[in-house]
Amino acid sequence: MDIIEAGGRIAYAPALVLHHWPSQVRNNDLRQRLIVRNAIWTFWLRLPWGLAWQQSELLLKQIPDRNLRRHVRNEALLGAAKILSKRRVLSDDTCKLFKQVWQQQHH
């Protein structure tokens, strides 16, 4: 988000295939919680409030396990004060680009 906001470009290369073999000793539940929590924090840091809440809710709804969803929400809220102190909202033009990407992903 910040790269695009600063005028940079991101190129997608659909023909490029990358493989990542995760560690055999990782805690998958913790990893999933942190990935979702950090995505929610990113929404809160950079998106206008309406869009931030919309994207946060969409992401949380994708977690089928109710307990995991509750843990993620609680962890996000516990760090909210620190996150919000660094809030810097993206421009309308940058937000429009991300909305287009998200709409394409959901169709």
Domain boundaries, the chain: 2-8+25-105
Give 91's Cβ-side CA count (13 Å radius).
Answer: 9
Q: How confident is the model at residue 55 (pLDDT cuts 50, 70, 90)?
A: very high
Q: How many angstroms separate the CA atoms of 45 and 86, rounded?
A: 7
Length reported for the chain: 107
* pTM value > 0.85: no
**Poorest-confidence range of 27-31, 34-38, 93-97?**
27-31
**Poorest-confidence range of 1-5, 63-67, 99-103?**
99-103
Residue given tokens 């977690």 in the structure block? 63
Helix segments in 1-107, DSSP class H: 2-5, 28-46, 49-61, 66-78, 80-84, 92-105
Burial of 59 (0-12, 13-18, 19+ CB in 10 A): middle
Mean pLDDT score of the chain = 90
Residue type for position 91: S
pLDDT of residue 107: 64
